[in-house]
Structure 1
Amino acid sequence: MESLSSDQHKRVVLTLQQVEKAIVQLQEWNKDVTSADDYLTSPEGAKNLAANCMMIEAIGESFKKIDNYTQGQLLPLYPSIPWKAVKGIRDHIAHGYFEIDADIIFETITENLTPLLTATRFFLEQLKH
């Protein structure tokens, strides 16, 4: 990203590092979760669901910021990720309030985090140069 100022470059790298940590943390929190029902059948599960939602919101917002910082130039370098959906799930959670679908959160965590982590690490590697 040659068009980024030094300050923007640092912000993007820092944000990507935070996203990487958040994804790893989500994976750790959910390593024993086997279905969306695990979020709904106990107070501990409900807390996990709420914490997951908070982290997913933060990740979505972070990618919105990254897209703004890079003027839309970085995310298209990894086209296999549906970036609009990544950024949009944040809005869905933030404005859904009590209408959070545990199945969507479970699916996001079990199916989408690993590819998103791979993309995040790809971007970090690209920004080293």
Structure 2
Amino acid sequence: MFDRMLAFEIITLIDENLKTVLQRTKHLKSADDFTSSEAGMILLDSVCMKLIAVGESIKNLDKITNKELLPNYSQIQWKQAMGMRDIIVHHYFDVDAEQIFNTLQEDIPTLISVLVKIKNELKP
């Protein structure tokens, strides 16, 4: 068995960071909003840093739960979430603004809803 409280805390941090990313990017209409200005590029850098932290936290969550928790929530492609962190860190100059934008629009809202479900199931 794993430390449920520690898992809950990690999930809370992930959830908070993802909500921050969505809040900061809610005005974006397309990936061009990242690449068309210096402010957009700074925002892209900021989003990438948050996604790195999220990916690393998901890896840590998987580790501290002995890989027992995440497989119960197959609606999320956990390996891809962790892999995005690796791509951003190791291939930063190849980061695709379109892919980051699509992740914000399509994947993060689903991930947040699953994290809420996990938190409710882990609540003490």
- TM bin, normalised by shorter chain, reads over 0.9
Shift of 1:77: 1.2
Whole-Å Cα distance in 2 between the matches of residues 73 and 122 of structure 1? 16
Supply the AA of the counterpart residue of 2:34. Answer: Y
- Pick from 16, 23, 34: which aligns with 1:28? 23
| 1:116 and 2:117 matched | no
2:5–2:122: 8 Å Cα contact kept in structure 1?
A: no
Q: Distance in 2 between matches of 1:127 and 1:96?
A: 35
Which residue of 79, 85, 88 maps to 1:84?
A: 79
Cα distance in 1 for partners of 2:5, 2:42 equals 33
Instruction: Give 2:61's match in structure 1, choosing from 57, 66, 70.
Output: 66
Aligned to 1:101: 96
Tell me the C-alpha RMSD between the 2 structures: 0.9
Deviation track 1:3-60 (CA, whole Å, cap 9, x = no partner) reads: 12xxx32321111111111111111011110111100111110010000000111111
SS in 2 for 1:32: coil
Separation in structure 2 between the aligned mates of residue 62 and residue 29 of structure 1, nearest angstrom: 20
Uncovered stretches (5+) of structure 1, i.e. residues with no partner: none
> Following the alignment from structure 2 to structure 1, what is the Cα–Cα distance between the partners of residues 95 and 21?
17
| TM-score when normalising by structure 2 | 0.96
> Counterpart amino acid of 1:70?
T
* Alpha-carbon distance, 1:97 to partner: 2.1
State the aligned residue count.
Answer: 124
- The TM-score, its normalising length taken from structure 1, stands at 0.92
The list of structure 1 runs, each at least 4 consecutive aligned residues, that deviate by more than 4 angstroms after superposition, is none
CA positional deviation for 1:76: 1.1
Where structure 2 has 5 or more consecutive residues not aligned to the other structure, the ranges are none
